[in-house]
Structure 1
Amino acid sequence: MSASDGAADVVVLRFGDRRVPRALTGPDTVDVAGSADVDAASSGARRLVVVGGDADVATVLTRLMRTERLGVELAVATGWLSARRALTAPARRVPLIRDDAGIAIVGYAEWRASPSSGGTLVGEGIVDDTTLFSGETTGVRIEPTAEMPGLRAAALSGRGRPGRWVAGRAAQLGTTGARVIRDGVDGAREVKRSTFYRHTEGWLRVG
């Protein structure tokens, strides 16, 4: 049975060739090949359960945001224990962090130097009114938080470790050139400016 056969309370979204945990064999399962599959599943479901990684969850969350369906609960299942929680745990509304390209993040994002810059990120990064760096740094890491104001960011050391975290609503970068990495996925092009910020509406995270 597929989600297209009718409205379903819970729909499982499988990305790639990942194995669906046994606890999730009851609900409808959709093998996601593109955004249309996510849109169709979310149109009738109360809860979506993603069998995949952070980038896959972020793909689903981005579609829920763009289609104005943030009332749909969103869970992730990576094993039998998380699969059971995905079905039974309550959902809580948490801040949704997105960037100026309209892409949501779930785990983390980073600003890194462009390939032509010799490994150094040059420019200025700020969170709200606080300067993260001005001049040069290895990179910047941005993470959503479960509580307000919504995100935190830190400049990275030479070994790639975050330094002092600064919490805020928005993190902004102006640079000579940077790569934007979202949940481990490199962006398609170099940017001179980039912003991550709290969306006007949060999302319903399960667990």
Structure 2
Amino acid sequence: MDPSSTAVVRFGTHRIPRSLRDLPVLPGSGADSAPDLTGHRRLIVLGSAHELSSVLTALMRADRLDVEVAHVRRPWQAGRARTGTATRVPLIRDETGSVITGAAYWLPPEGQRTLHGEGVVDDERLFDGDVTGVRIEPTSSMPGLRATVLTGPMRPKRWISGRAAQLGTTGATVVRDGVTGKRPVRRSTFYRHTEGWLRVGRG
């Protein structure tokens, strides 16, 4: 691969590994940075899961999911990020157009102990009534995501896999890759986008 077609996307003060220091560096600035990201064939993201998701959100909105993306969290991952092979994996987003790469949660609103409502994964009921919360994760293969009801202190109960997880509720807090939504919602859906993303290695 031509080195000029690869760039580092750096968020905050993340240190650039020695093996990547000859590459151009783009400042990470969230989904609105799409015009800066689409001029390269491969992007190496230095940042959190939320910051990786913001890069993928930008590429999805720009219709540029042909760009390969690597995620470097430790220096030893840099070499693989630069030379590894990209594999297309499911891209999980929600109805707001935000991508998740780590995990999302449906949790009770502030001041409440339980989440009340109904959750389903595809055609299978996840819960109906009151629960501690729900965790949703992308998967590396089809159908694309899995979800579980949390019991006790954030412990999973049983996983259900599917293309989409949907919630109808009297009120829920949505957490996307560690970032809490600004206000409670009555409906929320996470689902597999029509096109996957090109992941380099496993990050």
TM-score when scaled to structure 2? 0.94
For 1:167 and 1:86, the matched residues in 2 are separated by: 29
For 1:195 and 1:39, the matched residues in 2 are separated by: 24
Identify unmatched segments of 5+ residues in structure 2.
Answer: none
Contact kept in structure 2, 1:11 and 1:41, CA below 8 Å: no
Matched, 1:167 2:171: no
Supply the AA of the counterpart residue of 2:66.
G
For 2:12 and 2:98, the matched residues in 1 are separated by: 20
Aligned residues: 199
Instruction: Give the 3 Å change call, closer, same or farther, for CA 75–127 of structure 1 in structure 2.
Output: same
CA apart distance, 1:43: 2.2
Residues 52-83 of structure 1 show CA distances to partners (whole Å, capped at 9, x for unaligned) of: 01000000000010110000001011222111
Matched, 1:122 2:107: no
Secondary structure of the residue aligned to 2:151 is coil
For 1:141 and 1:128, the matched residues in 2 are separated by: 15
- Residue 24 of structure 2: which of 13, 28, 33 is its match? 28
Counterpart for residue 176 of structure 1:
170
For 1:183 and 1:105, the matched residues in 2 are separated by: 6
TM-score when scaled to structure 1? 0.93
Counterpart for residue 11 of structure 1:
7
For 2:97 and 2:31, the matched residues in 1 are separated by: 14
Counterpart for residue 145 of structure 1:
139
For 1:160 and 1:35, the matched residues in 2 are separated by: 29
For 1:51 and 1:27, the matched residues in 2 are separated by: 13
Counterpart for residue 55 of structure 1:
50
Contact kept in structure 1, 2:38 and 2:59, CA below 8 Å: no
CA apart distance, 1:34: 4.6
4+ residue stretches of structure 1 with deviation over 3 A?
Answer: 33-36
Identify unmatched segments of 5+ residues in structure 1.
Answer: 1-6
Secondary structure of the residue aligned to 2:143 is coil
Matched, 1:112 2:114: no
CA apart distance, 1:41: 3.1
For 1:111 and 1:33, the matched residues in 2 are separated by: 26
Secondary structure of the residue aligned to 2:29 is coil
Matched, 1:154 2:113: no
Contact kept in structure 1, 2:46 and 2:71, CA below 8 Å: yes
Secondary structure of the residue aligned to 1:164 is strand
Counterpart for residue 4 of structure 1:
none
Counterpart for residue 39 of structure 1:
34
